[in-house]
A and B are shown apart, each in its own frame.
Chain A
């Protein structure tokens, strides 16, 4: 049970998704044209959001690594 259970830990799923999104947005942000930057009031919003999502995604993965869930191991006691 232990291996698939860790794979499905919600922190891994969110962390992984945010890393991928962060990567996409960071690259897009680096390539953004002046017009896109101007739409966002001069803020390189794709870049900043991308970096923030990388950090959040990393934090979720780190959290999962440091405090693995003891999860539903006890689920055989009822239901």
Chain B
């Protein structure tokens, strides 16, 4: 068997049979069944799962982790693994883990204790209504764009299973997602979100095992990556990062400041889809532990994402080249190559369920922010509750339709993770700057929040346009998003400081519980018996995760 196969772009066709469809059907029967049963059995659809602020840290941690590990992450990080090699590990070990620990240790008490329902609402209380509106607006746009990515990915798999043209797959997928959100309701969406994580892992582990067997284990993989297009650089994370002579074309400043600090902290600490999971924890300690519990599995997720990416680049010689399959297709190609019917069905189910869960989360995020933070707070807040429920339903349909449009934008990117990271640099990086300055500097004024956020977002966008136009040379799309995030952060910070000095601050009485050092005296200590134990200490567990992340780098320096 030749070491590297050459594939045509249209070669990807998953060979599914009846057995695989049975596995797929079973999954959706369970998910929709829960949706129906839960609708009848509970007062509010959220009673059983994520509400009432009654859940222990292990459940919220599981939900937190699952909300992030969707198929976009799996396909995208495998694509990055194939395109950039071991440097993709930075996403996990300098990116996600420290940010998750920071969220748990520092930020969570503010979110949990201020009892806000969304990040834009936090913005309104710390700054003003205009900041809330701006944040809600960019959040709504971001959700629609990300929904498009999920929809496109869903269509990609449908296309591979059934051989339909992409536009038809996108339309049919959108119809399925809409039916799924309407039929199953929120509770089935939340169950789906946690279940897809386990099903995806069950489908990917066999791919990793067979893939490693094919290339001759870890040592064989290392040897073959050296001979591939990635070369020696594909096995290292920090080598040659003093300059830009590495697969990512990124130097250590871009990695540490852009990716590690701004982009990752921005994503993890202000992404409401994630933070909301922790808000349903039973007390402050459980809320703080939520992201930290999730950080431990996050440390080892690269085994099922980056390794398949490397295997794919070794096996498929023209992956990501003109005329070959795109990097996005790394995982589906491997599934097709290795998995017999049966396990194949599990893997396909995991991917499909995951894209649906992802898109459902985007649409419901859009829906909530549109009805609560935009319409109710700024357009008209005088209608009865049912009126907003109806508005929410219309927003769902509009969101799905808009997602069809943005799916075609996503289709234009050979690596969806790059696209996603660019979006994060526009929306999350400036938000993080405003958030963190507002948290630690109590003098920061309401209008500083607004103008800082606006200028940061505009500058990140401008830097991306200038990169695309060839004015800025960042080397790779990914490095461009690191720098875009860094620029957004710095501009946001400077504008915030300048505007603060020119305007009057809010009185301290309005800031209790919203800034560091001004605690809200009305919130009592909610610690439970046993919270003092070391294994429930956010600081100790968090430090453990960071130390492990640093140790994991050692074989890949």
Contacts and interface: CB of A to CB of B under 8 A. Distances in A.
A24 B198 CA distance: 17
B52 A72 contact: yes
Interface in B324-338: 338
Given A10-B49, A24-B22, A49 B210 contact: no
B19 interface: yes
A39 B207 CA distance: 12
A65 to B, nearest CB: 16
Contacts of B343: 25, 45-46, 49
B54 interface: yes
Contacts of B205: 49, 52
B288 to A, nearest CB: 19
Interface string B6-35: 000000000000010011001100100010
* A interface, size bucket: 35 or more
B52 A46 contact: no
Q: Is the contact region of chain A dominated by helix, strand, or loop, or is it mixed?
A: helix
A17 B119 CA distance: 35
B54 A71 contact: yes
Interface string A28-55: 1100100011011111011011101100
A74 B226 CA distance: 57
B339 A40 contact: yes
A48 B210 CA distance: 12
Interface stretch (B40-48, B134-142, B408-416, B486-494): B40-48
Contacts of A16: 30
Contacts of B27: 17
A10 B62 CA distance: 10
B341 A36 contact: yes
B354 to A, nearest CB: 15
A6 B213 CA distance: 42
A10 to B, nearest CB: 6
B282 A8 contact: no
A4 B42 CA distance: 9
A62 interface: no
Q: Is the contact region of chain B dominated by helix, strand, or loop, or is it mixed?
A: helix
Interface in B112-129: none
B206 interface: yes
A24 B34 CA distance: 22
B56 A13 contact: no
A79 B62 contact: no
A75 B34 contact: no
Contacts of A74: 52, 54, 282
B338 A39 contact: yes
A17 B22 contact: no
A75 B62 contact: no
Interface residues of B, number: 42
Interface string B35-77: 0011001100001110111111001001000000000000000
Contacts of A10: 49, 59, 62, 191, 194-195
Contacts of B393: none
Nearest to A28: B342
B210 A45 contact: yes
B517 interface: no
A17 B37 CA distance: 16
A21 B202 contact: yes
A7 B33 CA distance: 12
A41 B19 CA distance: 21
Contacts of B26: 17, 20-21
A10 B104 CA distance: 24
Contacts of B19: 24, 28
Interface string B274-304: 0000000010000000000000000000000
Nearest to A16: B30
Given A20-B26, A45-B340, A72-B48, A40 B210 contact: yes
A74 B55 CA distance: 10
A41 B210 contact: yes
Contact of B52 (A18, A48, A49, A79): A79
A5 B202 CA distance: 27
Given A10-B194, A13-B34, A43 B210 contact: yes
A17 B51 contact: no
B338 A13 contact: no
A24 B54 contact: no
B209 interface: yes
B376 interface: no
A25 B342 contact: yes
Contacts of B321: none
Nearest to B347: A49
9 contacts: A4-B48, A8-B38, A8-B49, A16-B30, A17-B27, A21-B26, A40-B339, A75-B51, A79-B51
Given A72-B47, A79-B53, 14 more contacts: A8-B37, A10-B195, A13-B195, A14-B194, A17-B195, A17-B199, A41-B210, A43-B213, A45-B210, A45-B338, A46-B340, A49-B202, A70-B54, A72-B51
Interface of A: 4-5, 7-8, 10, 13-14, 16-18, 20-21, 24-25, 28-29, 32, 36-37, 39-43, 45-46, 48-50, 52-53, 56, 69-75, 77-79
Query: Which 10 residue pairs across A and B have the least CB separation, nearest first?
Result: A75-B52, A36-B340, A72-B52, A28-B342, A46-B342, A72-B54, A8-B48, A41-B213, A4-B41, A74-B54
Interface of B: 19, 22-23, 26-27, 30, 34, 37-38, 41-42, 47-49, 51-56, 59, 62, 191, 194-195, 198-199, 202, 205-206, 209-210, 213-214, 282, 338-343, 346
